[in-house]
C-alpha cells in the first residue's frame, strides 16, 4: 500500500542522538515492515546510520505494543524506536 | 487493578490501606519498593531523570498485570512508577499485589517487577562525576524475566 | 535486623521509612503483610487468638533471619508478629527485607515467611459458628518451606 | 545422670487438653532423651496417653530450639511440647 502516513517516535538516547522526538512520514513504496523501515531510516546517514545499524540493540513498538522486525505497517500506525528499557 | 505514572512521590501505606479497605478476602499482600541508589556500575550517582513513553507505558504495564492475573489468583494489583528528576534514596516504583494466599502474592509481585524491568518503556539517565549518561539495560534483568517463561 | 512480638498493630510505612533512613545502599525493599481472612477451611471466622512461646519465638525468627542473611545479600530485615485477639482484616505479620537488588529482597522475604509459617512457635485458635477450634497446620506450608532446601 | 530437674512447657491445644502449662520434673532414671520423656508422659494415661501417643503429630523444643526425639536431656533444660505451628 502506498500513500500511507505513519507517525514515528524516538525516545531516550535515540531521541538525543537523532535530535528528533517525532516525525510524520509518508511510507515510501516497498516499506511495509518495521525491519525495512529501519533500513530506510539508516539510509539517511550520519547519526541515523549509526543508531539504526543492524548491530545496534534497538527495540520498536507499533501502536504502543512491542513488535518484531516482520511486523507489518499500515496507514495511521504509531511506530516508536527506542533503546532497551531501564525502568523500575 | 491500577497503573499510575506520576512525578509525585507515593505513600505505600495509604495505597495498601486503600486496596485492603472492604475486601476481607485479602489474606496476603506482597509489595515491592524500588529506590534510587547512590551508586551504579561503580560510579557515584547524584541525580537521575526518568523518561517514558506516555500511553504505551500504561498499556504495557496493564498487559503485565493481566498476564499475572492469568497465572495466579490475584484479588487486586497496583503499580505506581515515577518519572522526572529523582535523587538517591528517592522511591521510583511501587508494586502491590493482594491475594488470598501468600504464594500467589509473592509470585505475582515479583513477576510484575521482572516484566516491568524488561518491557515497560522507561529510560534512566543518571548524573555521575563523569557527566550524564543513559543507563544500559542489564542482561540480568532479561534473565530474571526469562525465568517466568515455562 | 529486628524481631518484635506484640499485641499492638503495626505501621508498615513507618517501619519501612525507619529502615531506609540513612542507608543509600538500599535499592530494593520487599515486604509482606499477612491479614486475618474472614473464612478458613470453608467456615466463617469471626475472631481468633494467637498464642506463642515467649523467648523461643524471638529466637527462632532471629535464626530464620540469620539463615536468610547467609543465603542472600540482606542489608536489613524486620519481622513483626502480633499475638492476642485479632479479627478479620486485622494485620497479623509484617516482614520487610531491604537489599541492594530486587532478586535478593524478594527471595529473602518469601524465605523468611515460609520458614516462619513452619518453624516459629505461634498457634491460632479461631472462632467460627461451630465454636472455637485450633487451626491445623497445613501440608502446603511444609511444602513451601521445603522448596528452599537445596 | 539422675537427680536432674527439667522444666516442661505445654502450648496451645496440648496445654488445654492436659490442663497444664508448666511443670518442674525430676527426670526419672533412664529418661535421657526427648523420645523417652514423651513415652514417660504418655504413661500418665488419660489425656496424656492421647496427646503424647506416638501417632500424634507433636513438635518439641529443648532450650527453645526445635529438637528431634533423640535429643539428650540434662539438668536445667527447658523442654516444650506443642502441636505443629500455625502462625504467620
For the beta sheet containing D65-66, the strands, ordered from the edge strand earlier in sequence to the opposite edge, are D22-26, D5-10, D78-82, D59-62, D65-66
In this predicted model, what pLDDT tens digit does every residue of B1-50 receive, in sequence order?
A: 899 999 999 999 999 999 998 788 999 999 999 999 998 888 899 999 99
Asked whether the ipTM of the predicted complex exceeds the cut of 0.90, the reply is yes
Q: What per-residue confidence (pLDDT) applies to A12?
A: 97
Task: Judge: domain C2-142, CATH 3.40.640.10.
Answer: no
Residue C23, pLDDT score: 87
Q: What are the strands of the beta sheet with A59-62, ordered from one edge? A: A22-26, A5-10, A78-82, A59-62, A65-66
- Does residue A28 sit within a domain? yes
Report pLDDT for B1: 87
The pTM of the full predicted model, rounded to 2 decimals, is 0.94
Indicate the average pLDDT of chain A. Answer: 95
Does B34 touch chain A if contact means CB atoms closer than 8 Å? yes
**CATH number for position D32:** 3.10.20.30
Q: Where are the domains of chain B?
A: 2-142
pLDDT reported for residue B23:
87
**Total number of domains constituting chain D:** 1
Say if residue C40's pLDDT is above 90.
no
Q: What would the pLDDT profile of A49-87 be if each residue is shown by its tens digit?
A: 999 999 999 999 999 999 999 999 999 999 999 999 999
Over residues C114-138, the pLDDT tens digits come to: 999 999 999 999 999 999 999 999 9
A–B: how many Cβ contacts below 8 A? 74
Q: What's the pLDDT score for residue C88?
A: 93
pLDDT tens digit sequence for D46-58? 999 999 999 999 9
Neighbors of chain D by Cβ distance (3+ pairs < 8 Å) = C
Please state the rounded mean pLDDT for residues C41-67.
Answer: 96
Domain membership of residue A88 (yes or no) is no
| pLDDT above 80 (res C69) | yes
pLDDT (0 to 100) of residue B41: 84
C102-119 vs B102-119: helix crossing angle, rounded to 10: 180
In our burial notation (b when 16+ CB lie closer than 10 A, e otherwise), range C119-143 reads bbbbbbbbbbeeeebbbebeeebee
Q: What separation, in Å, do the N-terminal and C-terminal C-alpha atoms of chain C show?
A: 25
Q: Is D26 a member of any domain?
A: yes
- Going by their DSSP bridges, the two strands C91-99 and B131-134 should be labelled as unpaired
**What's the mean per-residue pLDDT of chain C?**
95
- Say yes or no for a CB contact (<8 Å) between C29 and B35: yes
Decide: C and D in contact? Rule: 3+ Cβ pairs under 8 Å: yes
Q: Is residue A87 in a domain?
A: no
> Is residue D12 over pLDDT 90?
yes
Tens-digit pLDDT profile for residues B51-63: 999 999 999 999 9
**CB distance from C53 to chain D under 8 Å?**
yes
Contacts of B121 in chain A (CB under 8 A): 11, 61, 80, 82, 85, 87
Mean pLDDT of C21-42: 92
Q: How confident is the model at residue D1 (pLDDT cuts 50, 70, 90)?
A: very low
* Residue B67 to chain C, least CA–CA distance (Å): 19
pLDDT score of D3: 72
Least confident piece of the model among A32-46, B131-145, D57-71: B131-145
**CA distance readout (Å), B10 to B6, B24, B55, B108, D9:** 9, 24, 20, 21, 47
The verdict on a CB contact (< 8 Å) between D11 and C135 is no
| Distance of alpha carbon D12 from alpha carbon C59, whole angstroms | 19
Binning pLDDT at 50, 70 and 90, where does residue C24 land? confident
What pLDDT shows up at residue C22? 72
Residue C123: what pLDDT? 98
Q: Residues near C130 by Cβ (< 8 Å), separated by ≥ 6?
A: C43
Q: Per the CB < 8 Å rule, is B27 touching C35?
A: yes
**Percentage with pLDDT > 70 across chain B:** 99
For D55, the domain range is 5-82
Residue C147 CA from chain centroid, whole number: 17
Amino acid at each position: 500500500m502506498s500513500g500511507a502516513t505513519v507517525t514515528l517516535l524516538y525516545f531516550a538516547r535515540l531521541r538525543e542522538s537523532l535530535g528528533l522526538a517525532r516525525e510524520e512520514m509518508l511510507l515510501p513504496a516497498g516499506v511495509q515492515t518495521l525491519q525495512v523501515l529501519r533500513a530506510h531510516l539508516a539510509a539517511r546517514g550520519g547519526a541515523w546510520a549509526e543508531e539504526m545499524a543492524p548491530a545496534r540493540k534497538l527495540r520498536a513498538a507499533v501502536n504502543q505494543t512491542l513488535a518484531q522486525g516482520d511486523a507489518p505497517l499500515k496507514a495511521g500506525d504509531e511506530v516508536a524506536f527506542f533503546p532497551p528499557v531501564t525502568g523500575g | 487493578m491500577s497503573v499510575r505514572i506520576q512525578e509525585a512521590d507515593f505513600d505505600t501505606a495509604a495505597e495498601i490501606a486503600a486496596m485492603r479497605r472492604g475486601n476481607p478476602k485479602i489474606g496476603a499482600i506482597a509489595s515491592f519498593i524500588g529506590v534510587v541508589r547512590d551508586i551504579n556500575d561503580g560510579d557515584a550517582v547524584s541525580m537521575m531523570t526518568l523518561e517514558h513513553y506516555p500511553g504505551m507505558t500504561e498499556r504495557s504495564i496493564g498487559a503485565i498485570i493481566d498476564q499475572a492475573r492469568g497465572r495466579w489468583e490475584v484479588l487486586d494489583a497496583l503499580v505506581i512508577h515515577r518519572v522526572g528528576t529523582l535523587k538517591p534514596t528517592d522511591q521510583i516504583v511501587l508494586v502491590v499485589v493482594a491475594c488470598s494466599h501468600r504464594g500467589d502474592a509473592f509470585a505475582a509481585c515479583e513477576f510484575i517487577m521482572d516484566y516491568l524491568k524488561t518491557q515497560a518503556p522507561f529510560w534512566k539517565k543518571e548524573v555521575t562525576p563523569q557527566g550524564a549518561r543513559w543507563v544500559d539495560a542489564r542482561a540480568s534483568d532479561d534473565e530474571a524475566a526469562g525465568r517466568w517463561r515455562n
